[in-house]
Amino acid sequence: MCRAVRKSQFVVAVVLVVVGIIAETATTAEQLPAPTGSAKLAFAGLTWQCKAGPRFGPGPNGWAPDLAWVDQQGWLHLKIAKDAAGKWWCAEVISDKSFGYGEYRFTFAGLFSELDPNVVLGLFTYLDDDHEIDFELARWGQAAELKNAQFVMQPATASRMYRFATGDLQRLTCSLTWTADRVQWRCWQGTGGPGAKSLAAWTFTGSQIPAASQEKVHMNLWLMRGQPPKDGHSAEVVIESFEFRAAAR
């Protein structure tokens, strides 16, 4: 009897965690006025706008252009940091151009397993909250959650996301291949070259696959609901490369 009760309690707890993750994924992308500002940077042969402003989604959070920069190796750094007044600021860059159908590939590095539970890394295409294709590193405030990564077709439901764990890996390559009737995600260890070990793969063929339009590529590092890191520390992820390969016509 005790075992049955414990098993039941465990199942209920898992269901509640999954429901919470779906709710956070769906609601933290709330629509807020578009950020203004002219700060831009060059990365991967493209021009990117740096989000700037005291309160914009997702989160909402404050966004500081100087928390996104490119180093001498040509790698893009995204950082969350606190200013002298105690306010936390996040980083996001947005491509100047739209790409449409094809493969989007990101290679990125960081101490993923040590990211605070309130920290979220997003690599995605975005037109609006109903036309968004995501890869996210996130535990959505759940410190004990082992699955810290997800592929998501917005709007998020249990059938429109796939969660997995990155373990102790510190460099990943994520690819999303978008066509009119499906989206295929893959994640590899390391740089994703020949022989790279696959970490996760998922294909979505359900309803509401967005048609190619004026969506942009976004890369951001932000705080869930705008809540400070539980550990009180800044966070940083390095995007080593971004590539786009247009779909065959």
Grouping H, G, I as helix, E, B as strand and the rest as coil, residue 187 is strand
- Quote the pTM value: 0.87
d(CA 151, CA 163): 7
User: To which residue do tokens 């535990």 refer?
Assistant: 139
- Tokens in use for 91? 């980083």
Write down the pLDDT at residue 195.
87
Per-residue pLDDT, averaged over 26-37, amounts to 46
Question: What's the pLDDT tens digit per position in 175-197?
Answer: 999 999 999 999 999 998 888 99
User: Domain of 115?
Assistant: 2-246
DSSP state for residue 230 in the 8-state scheme: T
Write down the pLDDT at residue 160.
95
pLDDT of 11 higher than 50: no
Q: Is 132 exposed, middle or buried (0-12, 13-18, 19+ CB in 10 A)?
A: buried
Write down the pLDDT at residue 25.
54
d(CA 74, CA 171): 16
Higher-pLDDT residue of 247, 123: 123
- State which H helix or E strand residue 56 sits in: strand 53-56
DSSP state for residue 25 in the 8-state scheme: H
pLDDT of 1 higher than 50: no
Could you give the angle at the alpha carbon of 30 between the alpha carbons of 109 and 201, nearest 5°?
40
For residue 99, the domain's CATH number is: 2.60.120.200
d(CA 49, CA 222): 16
List the beta bridge partners of residue 217: 125
Of residues 37, 88, 110, 112, the one with CA closest to residue 224: 88
| Total count of domains within the chain | 1
Considering the chain, what is the average pLDDT of its residues? 88
Cite the DSSP H helix spans in the chain: 2-27
pLDDT of 20 higher than 70: no
CA-derived radius of gyration, the chain: 18
Tell me the percentage of the chain whose pLDDT exceeds 90.
80
Tell me the percentage of the chain whose pLDDT exceeds 70.
85
Write down the pLDDT at residue 33.
45
Q: How far is CA 158 from CA 50, 118, 138, 211, in A?
A: 32, 21, 16, 22
Q: How far is CA 144 from CA 13, 22, 193, in A?
A: 12, 17, 32
Write down the pLDDT at residue 206.
82
d(CA 239, CA 113): 17
pLDDT of 13 higher than 70: no
Grouping H, G, I as helix, E, B as strand and the rest as coil, residue 134 is strand
d(CA 27, CA 155): 9
Confidence band, pLDDT 50/70/90 cuts, at residue 58? very high
Question: What's the pLDDT tens digit per position in 221-235?
Answer: 999 999 999 999 999
Per-residue pLDDT, averaged over 120-147, amounts to 97
